[in-house]
Structure 1
Amino acid sequence: MLGLLLVGALIAIAVGRRRTVSTAVMSRWSRTLCRVMGVRITVLGTPHAGTALLVANHISWLDIFCIAAVCPTHFLAKQEVAAWPLFGWLCRRAGTAFIRRGSENGAGEAAEQLTWRLRQGGRILIFPEGTSTSGESVKRFYPRLFQAALHARCPVQAIALRYPDPNDPLGINRTVPFIGNDEFISHLWRLLGEQSIAVELSFSERVVAGTQTRGLLARHTYQQVYAALQKENIPQSQSISALPH
């Protein structure tokens, strides 16, 4: 816990009064955070280097930092994240787009934000399940946010995310999922109690958003994630190691 607080203090000093920071800086923060928390990342496949809408299954708030550690990107998060201690502050400084869940046009407003940002270049990460899960299954992908890729005429790349635990009957870590009525601070404390946390990120082949509908894009990327998690179509391993210093 002391190490995590030290990281937070160093970040605050480095940022100073700057209102925003680059995705490259956010990526460095994320690598440091993952090292402090004992997170070991396995990367499979290759992240797309250019502008892209990244879509992934969602298990925990930790997902964002694991992906950002290996793939500098902006991301979309629920509005409540902005109020979280330290992490909410980091997300705001990193230019996160926030979605007002439950509002009448929250998804529409978010899609407009995503379109604008994609047209500026770079990558943006979304979690199209609309919620987090235990990691035992993947919920269907809601298609509305995929409209941003069509408007921006950029590719879509799916990321299958998994926290393995060989000692679990289903092979998944039961501590990492942030679900139900979990509260951020108590969940963070549980994660800090873990000796180490393994995570696998499987980057699928990108999908060109051309004449496809947003519904087809959602179904196709869902199938890519599902297949990767079922070990049916995992790309060749790019690197399997602890995060670089």
Structure 2
Amino acid sequence: MNGTTAPSPWLPTAPCTPGRCAAHPDSGTDHAAPAAGAALAAVRLAAGIGTVLLGILLAPAAGLLRPPVRAALVRFWVRAVVRAFGVRVRFEGTAVPAAGPLLVVANHVSWLDIPLLAAVLPGRMVAKAEVRHWPVLGTIAALGGTLFIDRDRLRALPGSVSAMAGVLAAGGRVVVFPEGSTWCGRAGGRFRPAAFQAALDSGADVQPVRIDYRPTGAAAYVGDDPLGASLWRIVTTRRLTAEVRTLTPISGTRFPDRRSLAAAAQRAVAPQQAVAPQRAVAPQRAVFPQRAVANDSANLPFSSVHHRDRSRPASASSSRTPA
């Protein structure tokens, strides 16, 4: 990022930067990550990129298969991509409904979050409109049924929320990173409420997911971190492990509005030691959910590892990295 263009003041920002968060572990929490040799790293990088390209080449043929078969192949493919880059994965937590509408929300650390969620909870990802035109990644996003939103037009936000609600109402899943930016994994951001309005409007449950990496800094994709540098850091780290924990689903009927629902999901996803005492929200019987409106700052769009943007200097903020 060259820093010549100031970010929109309503976009979320994180204090995480590559030098402070990704390259150097915190003393006392992470020990120096054991490094893989250059030869092993090169093999991992080639295998990971090759697996990604193979999936793209086979995508048109896979589109002719029955949906259950196609979904199984996609899950196998994304797991193969993560493993090819040398990342071990542990899936744990509560059982997830096999079918039915679900708003999947997770903390956001890395671009690896996307294939990890697709492996356990495949659904329609949310991304900014520019991603559609990105080389390779844009093609993958489009083939995966990504919901593209125009984050530069605040008035388009109600339409984006309606599109998410429509997918949920039809029985589908929508996957969102409500923090709006990637964080290093040691710190996290506030969950933005906009997407939760879609769950209220459609009557869908919210499925919180917690993603962690060990060692913590190796997978973090924050600030001005180039994708190439992130890839190399991952393939050169030995025993990099991703932990994906599915938590108890949250029913929107227990909360009066999107803000309280977002806060409940954030508390569920937060590390246990980081959960601050909160007043319990009393169940509501008949409450009309709030509608997203263009001038509601609480419903501002969110970026993620799909959403890489320019940012302030590192001393002020990190960039909103893609989902």
TM > 0.5? yes
Q: CA deviation at 1:93?
A: 0.2
Q: Does 1:72 align with 2:122?
A: yes
User: Of Structure 1 and Structure 2, which has the larger fraction of its residues in strand?
Assistant: 1
Q: Does 1:31 align with 2:75?
A: no
Question: Counterpart amino acid of 1:189?
Answer: W
| Partner in structure 2 of residue 14 of structure 1 | 58
CA contact (8 A) 2:92 2:244 kept: yes
Q: Does 1:141 align with 2:191?
A: yes
Q: Partners in 2 of 1:76 and 1:29 — Cα distance?
A: 20
Q: Partners in 1 of 2:60 and 2:242 — Cα distance?
A: 32
CA contact (8 A) 2:125 2:176 kept: yes
Q: Partners in 2 of 1:185 and 1:61 — Cα distance?
A: 12
Q: CA deviation at 1:14?
A: 1.4
| Partner in structure 2 of residue 223 of structure 1 | 267
Q: CA deviation at 1:160?
A: 1.1
Q: Partners in 2 of 1:223 and 1:81 — Cα distance?
A: 30
Assess, with a 3 A threshold, how the Cα gap between structure 1 residues 92 and 117 changes in structure 2: closer, same or farther.
Answer: same
CA contact (8 A) 1:141 1:218 kept: yes
| Partner in structure 1 of residue 148 of structure 2 | 98
Q: Does 1:52 align with 2:95?
A: no
| Partner in structure 2 of residue 184 of structure 1 | 227
Q: Partners in 2 of 1:198 and 1:18 — Cα distance?
A: 29
Q: CA deviation at 1:228?
A: 4.4
Q: CA deviation at 1:91?
A: 1.4
| Partner in structure 1 of residue 236 of structure 2 | 193
Q: Does 1:2 align with 2:46?
A: yes
Q: Partners in 2 of 1:8 and 1:31 — Cα distance?
A: 11
Q: CA deviation at 1:214?
A: 0.7
Counterpart pick for 1:159 among 199, 209, 230:
209
Q: Partners in 2 of 1:25 and 1:79 — Cα distance?
A: 26
**Equivalent residue of 1:16, what SS?**
helix
CA contact (8 A) 1:76 1:125 kept: yes
Structure 1: unaligned runs, 5 residues or longer: 166-171, 233-245
| Partner in structure 2 of residue 237 of structure 1 | none
Q: Partners in 1 of 2:73 and 2:102 — Cα distance?
A: 19
| Partner in structure 1 of residue 289 of structure 2 | none
| Partner in structure 2 of residue 242 of structure 1 | none
Q: Partners in 2 of 1:193 and 1:82 — Cα distance?
A: 30
**Equivalent residue of 1:216, what SS?**
helix
Q: Does 1:203 align with 2:246?
A: yes
Question: Counterpart amino acid of 1:100?
Answer: D
CA RMSD of aligned residues (A): 2.5
CA contact (8 A) 2:168 2:199 kept: yes
Q: Per-residue displacement from partner, 1:186-245 (whole Å, max 9, x unpaired)?
A: 32233232334211112111111225211111010111111447599xxxxxxxxxxxxx
Q: CA deviation at 1:176?
A: 1.2
CA contact (8 A) 2:104 2:209 kept: yes
Q: Per-residue displacement from partner, 1:142-165 (whole Å, max 9, x unpaired)?
A: 111101111111100111111122
Bigger Rg, structure 1 or 2: 2
| Partner in structure 2 of residue 111 of structure 1 | 161
Assess, with a 3 A threshold, how the Cα gap between structure 1 residues 228 and 158 changes in structure 2: closer, same or farther.
Answer: farther
CA contact (8 A) 1:43 1:200 kept: yes
Q: CA deviation at 1:141?
A: 0.7
Q: CA deviation at 1:18?
A: 7.5
Assess, with a 3 A threshold, how the Cα gap between structure 1 residues 2 and 185 changes in structure 2: closer, same or farther.
Answer: same
Q: Partners in 2 of 1:24 and 1:150 — Cα distance?
A: 29
CA contact (8 A) 1:48 1:206 kept: no
Structure 2: unaligned runs, 5 residues or longer: 1-44, 277-323
Indicate the percent of aligned positions where both proteins have the same amino acid.
30
The total of aligned residue pairs comes to 225
